Structure 1
Amino acid sequence: MLNKFSSWLAAILLLLVFFVLVLLNNQLLGSARLDLTENQVYSLSEGTEQILQDLDEPIHLYFFYSDKASKGMTSLRNYANRVDSLLEEYRSKANGKIILHKVDPEPFSEAEDEATRFGLTAATIGAAGDAIYLGLAARNAFDDEKTIAFFDPQQESFLEYEISKLIYQLSDPEPVRVTLITDLAVQGGQNPMTGRFDPAWTSVDQLQQLYQLEILGSDATSLPEQTDVLLLIHPSNLSETLLYSIDQYVMGGGKLLAFLDPHHESDPMAAMGGANSSDLDKLLSAWGIKFDARQVVLDAASGLDIRTQAGVTRHLGFLGLDAAQLDNTDVVTRGLELINGASFGHFTRDEGSVGWQPLLHSSANSALMDGGRYAVTRDAKQLASGFVDSQTRHVLAVRLSGTARSAFSEAPQGNANEQLMASTDALNVILVGDTDLLTDRFWVSQANFFGQTIATPFANNGDFLTNAVDNLGGSTALISVRSRGTFSRPFEVVDELTVKAEQAFRDQEQLLQQQLQETEQQLAQLQGQRSEGGALVLNAQQQQALEEFMQKKIEIRKALREVRHQLDKDIERLGSWLKFVNIALAPVLLVLLLGLVARLSRKTAEVK
């Protein structure tokens, strides 16, 4: 009786200890987290944490997720849980400055009306056509609003960047101020060759619509103090004073986006011949970077087809860079499919210099050509006839970061009273080896619609420009938030089994298709063998051949089903082993290990 009472008392005490430990865990360790994933997908980067620490006013986040309507959509629900977990991490790291609201916008509810008012996108999924919401709306203390219309699972690696960007924009609502320095006619003007008036570049029009844009010429001597992003388009013949201002702007943590070119052939005067190259060598050399303004990159694989008097010809100097030649890990080039340009120059760097991240590159089927000779070559066929493949990928655009030194040892005359900043640890520069890609003819077509000019893009050149300005216009912390890993990890063994079985399936399928084609040919011949009444006549030998084929067809289809069945069996067998290891074997091994530890502890106590 006493032993039974002791057992009940021990069970009750064990239960009480369990509840006390759970309570202590929730109260004392509720904010403690341990991310054991390979790519730290459940942890925030240092840049995001810096943005959250700099928040002055609270920001309300409204996470709209159709929980009830998405029942049975396993993949979407898993991704929604991933977004939810990340938003919880934002809330826990923000010291009360992030207020998270989770909303299930059921059909015909006030919550759905609120999602519509925010402008969120409802995806129609499933046979019933239910509206599924998976988006985020945010509002700051000044009632400014930003939204992520729908979280695309295909863009999961940029999930943290998009949320951090939204929070940063609400924490610092001042518009981005862009200073553009160029001598090109980006605002339009009279063409000296044709006498007609050329319109402003569509790319520059977009910048004026999105940002506060101030345009200066190369005769400027200093930069506006309120410059968030400095944009250089085809810089050449810049004065020493202006170069010094640009250098010190960058050394002071300013962001620079520079479009250089060994030959700006969109210049009306370029038709007169001779290379028309950019020059920023003094600054680039100090950073350990070289832009070869004397050579143009030709690319046999990326050359664009152009129409000439002789017909359609591939121009090796006019390049169409597809997704394979863009860095899909950087927020500037992610999701872009095509960037067109002409007479690209390439970048190289010294070993051990600044941080280097190529954004655009040529294919391996490329070569270099003297810029002066390229400028006077009018026939695209001549470029192809002298082309020799170098089997080298050339960097056409690059992001620079990290530590860099000033190009000046002392301030030039007239700036002597200014204190020289000799270096920076926060270089933020994007260099692009072409300026023609910003002109309309390489990425946008224009049409007149009832007196209004409608621009229709056929390439992503404008997106590339706005992405770069948008990224550089954010804080240094935001720029440091790059693409992250995905939370879903592939079952590599299962994938190998699937590939192996599907290969066998395809081999059998090809055999069947070949035999079907042969039989159709035989049947087509038999179609001509008709009796006087028009009925199909088959002799005994033909009838036997047809029956044999039908039987063989049935056997092959049975073999196809067997291959697929064997695939499923192998995967099910692997799944059963995984379940056994996780559910049964692991706990048994843990109990045995704990028993061994307890036994060793008792023996140690007895020895003492």
Structure 2
Amino acid sequence: MQRAVSFSLATILLACLFFALVFVNNTALNSVRLDLTENQVYSLSDGSKAVIDELQEPINLYFFFSDSATKGMTGLRNYASRVESLLEEYANYADGKIRLHVIDPVPFSEYEDQATQYGLTGAAIGQLGEAVYFGLAGTNAVDDQQVISFFDPQKESFLEYDLSQLIYQLTDSSAVQVTLLTDLNTVGGQNPMTGQFDPEMVFYNQLGQLFELTTISSQDTEVPLDTDVLIIVHPQGLNESLQASIEQYGLNGGRMLVFADPHYESDPMALMGGVGANPSDLPLLASWGIDLDFSQIVLDANLGLEVRTPQGGIARHFGILGFDTEVIDAGDVVTANLDSINAASIGSIELSENAQLELVPLLTTSANSQLHETATYAMTQDPQEHARNFAAEDKEHVVAARITGVSGTDLAKLNILLVADADLLADRFWVQQSNFFGQTIFTPFANNGDLLINAVENLAGSDALISVRSRGTFSRPFERVEALEVAAEAKFRAQEERLQQQLADTEAQLAQLQSQQGDGGALVVTEEQQAAIDEFIEQRIAIRKELRDVRFQLDRDIDKLGNWLKFVNVAAAPVLLALLLYFLAAILRAGSARRSIRKVVG
């Protein structure tokens, strides 16, 4: 009786302890979390924490998700759960500076009207076709507003960057001041070579629409003091005062986007041919520890685009390259989701031997490439000549990179995005011009303009925001399941192929017997032939049954693993808890028994 009472008491005490721990975890320890995921997808990076630390006043984040309208949409709901969990991490770390509001905008409610007012996108994918909202709106103390209209699961790896960028924009809502340093004719006008009117370059028009743009040339003496991002395009003949100003700007942590080219072949004089190389000139790169040899360009047999030859034919040009998703870095926010970049006569970027810099490639060539003298390339008009003299060096070359770190003895911090080509900004490499009822329309056929705008937007953020990179995705492939599938297929595929061949032979012989006909089209079949037909039909049935058994066996190992995973996820934890309670109860009983013995002995 006493043992029963002791066991019951121990069980009650353990249950009370369990509920007490749950209560403490959900209250006092709510902000304490342990992220055991491979890429730490539920934790904030140091860059995001630094963005939050810069908050001077509280901000409000309104997370809209149509919970009631997405029943059964497991994938979308799982991603929404991850977004909400990460937003809670932001709110917990901000310690009151971020106020998170989770809202379900049910149809015809005031919350749906609120989501519409913020400009969120309602996708018609819900039950009965109602709109599904899955976005974020943020406001600050002066009613500035930033939104993520819809969380795209395809951009899951950049979720943290998008959230941190929205928060940063709420802390600093001033217009981005962009300074463009170039001597190119970006504003258009009459072309002295053709006499025709050239329109404004599309990239220049885009910069003017999206940012506060100031243009300076090589004749100016300094970089404007309020510059957030300095864009340098094909620099030539910079005076000493301007070079010193650029150097000071860079060494003081200024953000620079540089397009430096071994041969800018889009220049009107270069297009005519026979004028030699037209390289950029920026000695500061070498002084900072960046090696961009303007005397050589990169030829690539794999990435070369087809062009028209002087003879009127079509040939692949090893110097005019089309970069695709195979060589564009999808892990950097600047180049993520870009499909194609076209460029010409590009250079190769490396770091000097003793440079204290970090180089992160954004665009690379294939290994089927070769360095070629710029001067010889510029004087060669026939692309087939490059192909005839091509000899692959089996080396990939970096042609666009993010370069950060310290330079010189003063350990000044650099933040540069360098592209070893300026031709990619020329209209002919990425937009097509057409006339629509008297209006000139430019239609992009490559992502050159997107690369430029992405780079400026990224560099315009804080250093903390720039440091937030791709963090990986929440969902991971079932590697063990895939391995089992491969093993099962290897084990049963030969058997399946043998049975398929037997089935094909059987059906062929059966068709041959059934096609035997006498005169007048009447079917004439002997008893022996009918017996053979019946036997083949039975054999076909048996083979098909055996094939079904084989295909069942292909899935059996997968099902076993699935059942085991279900047991571990669902049953293992309760079983372990029950065993723990049992052992604790046994320990309590043993202790009680020892105390009873001492009393008796005493």
Query: Could you state the TM-score of these two structures normalised by the residue count of structure 1?
Result: 0.86
Amino acid at match of 1:338: S
Shift of 1:115: 2.3
**CA distance change for structure 1 residues 590 and 499 in 2, over 3 Å: closer, same or farther?**
farther
Matched, 1:423 2:411: yes
Matched, 1:477 2:471: no
Amino acid at match of 1:332: V
Matched, 1:493 2:480: yes
CA distance in 1, matches of 2:115, 2:166: 17
Amino acid at match of 2:330: N
Shift of 1:590: 5.6
Amino acid at match of 1:100: L
Equivalent residue, structure 2, for 1:143: 143
Aligned length: 588
Shift of 1:459: 0.6
Q: Secondary structure at the match of 2:381?
A: coil
CA distance in 1, matches of 2:110, 2:490: 52
CA distance in 1, matches of 2:111, 2:529: 71
Matched, 1:383 2:371: no
Shift of 1:327: 1.0
Equivalent residue, structure 2, for 1:213: 213
Amino acid at match of 2:301: A
CA distance in 2, matches of 1:491, 1:591: 33
Shift of 1:563: 3.9
Shift of 1:139: 2.0
> 1:528-579: per-residue Cα shift (whole Å, max 9, x none)?
999999x798998999999998777766654553343223321221233334
Amino acid at match of 1:370: E
Amino acid at match of 2:395: T
Contact 1:59 1:99 (C-alpha < 8 Å) held by counterparts: yes
Amino acid at match of 2:411: S
Equivalent residue, structure 2, for 1:357: 360
Equivalent residue, structure 2, for 1:169: 169
**CA distance change for structure 1 residues 508 and 350 in 2, over 3 Å: closer, same or farther?**
farther
Shift of 1:17: 4.4
Equivalent residue, structure 2, for 1:403: 406
**CA distance change for structure 1 residues 557 and 228 in 2, over 3 Å: closer, same or farther?**
farther
Equivalent residue, structure 2, for 1:293: 294
Q: Secondary structure at the match of 1:236?
A: coil
Equivalent residue, structure 1, for 2:426: 439
Contact 2:6 2:589 (C-alpha < 8 Å) held by counterparts: no
Amino acid at match of 1:171: T
CA distance in 2, matches of 1:548, 1:312: 63
Contact 2:295 2:373 (C-alpha < 8 Å) held by counterparts: yes
Q: Secondary structure at the match of 1:99?
A: strand
- Bigger shift: 186-195 or 376-385? 186-195
CA distance in 2, matches of 1:604, 1:44: 52
Q: Secondary structure at the match of 1:578?
A: helix
Shift of 1:247: 0.8
> 1:11-40: per-residue Cα shift (whole Å, max 9, x none)?
555555444444444443221122222211
**CA distance change for structure 1 residues 549 and 452 in 2, over 3 Å: closer, same or farther?**
farther
> 1:495-516: per-residue Cα shift (whole Å, max 9, x none)?
1122344577887888899999
- Bigger shift: 451-460 or 503-512? 503-512
Shift of 1:5: 6.3
Equivalent residue, structure 2, for 1:572: 559
**CA distance change for structure 1 residues 188 and 510 in 2, over 3 Å: closer, same or farther?**
farther
Equivalent residue, structure 1, for 2:600: none
CA distance in 1, matches of 2:503, 2:383: 48
**CA distance change for structure 1 residues 109 and 292 in 2, over 3 Å: closer, same or farther?**
same
Contact 2:510 2:536 (C-alpha < 8 Å) held by counterparts: no
CA distance in 2, matches of 1:247, 1:531: 99
* RMSD (Å) for aligned C-alpha atoms: 3.7
Equivalent residue, structure 2, for 1:305: 306
Q: Secondary structure at the match of 1:324?
A: coil
CA distance in 1, matches of 2:188, 2:540: 69
Shift of 1:47: 1.0
Paired-residue identity, %: 56
CA distance in 2, matches of 1:536, 1:135: 73
> 1:357-393: per-residue Cα shift (whole Å, max 9, x none)?
0110001111111101100100111111111111110
Contact 2:262 2:294 (C-alpha < 8 Å) held by counterparts: yes
Equivalent residue, structure 2, for 1:322: 324
Amino acid at match of 1:389: A
**CA distance change for structure 1 residues 500 and 129 in 2, over 3 Å: closer, same or farther?**
farther
CA distance in 2, matches of 1:223, 1:324: 37
Q: Secondary structure at the match of 1:325?
A: coil
CA distance in 2, matches of 1:506, 1:184: 63
**CA distance change for structure 1 residues 198 and 82 in 2, over 3 Å: closer, same or farther?**
same
Gap regions ≥5 residues in structure 1: 407-421
**CA distance change for structure 1 residues 342 and 567 in 2, over 3 Å: closer, same or farther?**
same
**CA distance change for structure 1 residues 556 and 473 in 2, over 3 Å: closer, same or farther?**
farther
Contact 2:64 2:136 (C-alpha < 8 Å) held by counterparts: yes
Contact 1:359 1:399 (C-alpha < 8 Å) held by counterparts: yes
Equivalent in 451, 458, 467 of residue 438 of structure 2: 451
CA distance in 1, matches of 2:380, 2:180: 32
Amino acid at match of 2:486: V
Contact 1:512 1:553 (C-alpha < 8 Å) held by counterparts: no
Contact 2:488 2:557 (C-alpha < 8 Å) held by counterparts: no
CA distance in 2, matches of 1:508, 1:554: 17
Matched, 1:284 2:271: no
**Correspondences of 1:75-114 after superposition (within 5 Å):** 75-114=75-114
- Bigger shift: 355-364 or 114-123? 114-123
- Bigger shift: 212-221 or 37-46? 37-46
Amino acid at match of 1:456: T
CA distance in 2, matches of 1:536, 1:455: 72
Q: Secondary structure at the match of 1:569?
A: helix
**CA distance change for structure 1 residues 19 and 493 in 2, over 3 Å: closer, same or farther?**
closer
Contact 1:263 1:343 (C-alpha < 8 Å) held by counterparts: yes
Amino acid at match of 1:119: G
